[in-house]
Structure 1
Amino acid sequence: MIDHIGVPVADFSRSKAFFDRALAPLGIEIVMQVWAQETGGSAHAGYGRAGKPFFWISDGSAPASAVHVAFEALSRPQVDAFYAAALSAGAKDNGPPGLRADYHPNYYAAFVLDPDGNNIEAVCHHAE
């Protein structure tokens, strides 16, 4: 199952204004935002429900902008196995398995770049 997806946008402010209005009738709103000053690169806005972002937009002007897809893992060992399998299949490391407490205390994920440079992630939200 897809946990969340992110897409680059050409004009972050314009796209944010669009999605703010277009997604509101669906009960989808910004639940997390990260500014370029915080990342040292791109600004990001995460839309979702009940505090969980599942659709992200990112300032597409940053050189590393690409599509981001995160797949749900049912356990931390699955995240580790995904990472190892992806690297052996030719992916490039974009963040080894580990906790990302900035997202939430149990956010355990690994990131790789696929052959086209897209950011592919496996994430487990469980405590163990």
Structure 2
Amino acid sequence: MIDHTGIGVADVTRSAAFYDAALGALGLRRVMQLPENDGADGVGYGVEHPVFWIDRFHPHGVKQHTAFKARSRAEVDAFHAAALKAGGTDNGPPGLRGTAQGYPRGYYAAFVLDPDGNNMEAVFREP
């Protein structure tokens, strides 16, 4: 089980605006910033503690993939819309993914590229 993870970004302030919107749609928020007063070095997102970090300390431009768990199809849809509005690039609209593509039954997801080209996904796994 992973406790937390993160990625390097070229511009923390620019990326934080994207992640504030995209992850906010999934119920995540800024829970920690480095330094505390402005978050220019790093921002941690979560509910009670950081589970996902963006920072200037790790290499950026590596093109990471991270999938965030959504609680419903509506959250996946909201994530996608918020991420696009915040400057993300569509990399797969919300919808059921097919078993022929290697996805399990009931895999409802959306994909968006962040400002650094990282592939961010929101997924709801239907029962």
TM-score (norm 2): 0.48
TM-score (norm 1): 0.48
